[in-house]
Amino acid sequence: MDSYDEVTTPHADQLQRGLISHCYRMLGSITEAQAVAARSSDLAGATIACLSQAGERPLPTDLVAASDDPEGELHQLPEVLWLEPIPDDLTDGRPIGIEYVAALQRLPARERAAQLLHELEGWSPNRITDLLGPVSRVHLSPQPHPPPDPVLLAAYREAFEQYDVPAITGFFTDDTVWEMPPFTSWFRGARNIGRLISTHCPAKGPGDQLLVPLKANGQPAFAVYMRDPTDNVHRAFQLQVLTLTATGIIHAIAFFDLTLFETFNLPDLLTTLPKSPHEATPTFHVGRAGKHQD
């Protein structure tokens, strides 16, 4: 069932999430996916609309080789339309992992559509041909993610909030990839990631960073807020999406596009309130700040 005409109101939200998720897999952009889904009434129409504007939204790992100079200058390409994460509450519960969506983006748009319509939507080859014309199909299997380890994630958050770089790097392996769109520079291995954080992270000590747990693309994520020393508040800094394996964190993407905070319904300002004598930890006032430069 893939038309609004065939559903009742209680099911419309589920269908809308399905359209948004499909368009996101096609376009790699949650902003564009929401816009296309909002003007589409069924899967076929959404697919054709996506094809009219589908390009390739890369990650830094798609463009350049890993850097071996974590202390060096970080290069960026702000003009590139980068892959974006999607909030979990907008997804349809089917495969949408960040690596899977990145792999889809490397396919030509019509092959991407055929892959999704066949593998996820269960369309027959004849039905796909009727919609798209003759198109070759590839088999691209999403990799399953292990259940998130809440103890590991809590410890990871604590390490960042304490700005304990040795503890942070302890969560990474020699194969872990760290990338940061719109920066094209990306790094492999715990040692290089630690050197990168020590050199380029604006934090100076404990409390400079605050992490808010999220879920994006069905994966654990954090909104990172950085202390502004001028007015002693924490401002939106980056969104991290993590890929976990049994051995630790194998992939971390730090998205520096601050418009994503609004997409994830997050504030761009956290203000620490005075600690209450009745509380073990400080509470946080959450509010929307004005425009600022980072």
Span 56-92, pLDDT tens digits: 999 999 999 999 999 999 999 999 999 999 999 999 9
- pLDDT grade, residue 138 (50/70/90)? confident
Span 266-293, pLDDT tens digits: 999 987 544 433 344 444 444 333 333 3
C-alpha span between 276 and 176 (Å, rounded): 40
Tally Cβ neighbours within 10 Å of residue 84: 25
155 with 282, same domain: the answer is: yes
119 is a domain residue: yes
294 is a domain residue: no
What are the angstrom distances between the C-alpha of 165 and each of 136, 170, 180? 47, 9, 18
- The mean predicted confidence, pLDDT, of the chain is 89
240 is a domain residue: yes
25 with 127, same domain: the answer is: yes
48 is a domain residue: yes
292 is a domain residue: no
Q: Which domain covers residue 20, as residue numbers?
A: 4-132
- pLDDT grade, residue 142 (50/70/90)? confident
142 is a domain residue: no
Burial class (CB in 10 A: 0-12, 13-18, 19+), 98: buried
Task: Domain count for the chain, please give it.
Answer: 2
The closest alpha carbon to 200, from 171, 163, 229, belongs to: 163
Span 225-238, pLDDT tens digits: 999 988 889 999 99
User: Can you give the CATH number for the domain in which 162 is found?
Assistant: 3.10.450.50
What number of CA atoms fall less than 13 Å from residue 90's CA on the CB side?
23
154 with 195, same domain: the answer is: yes
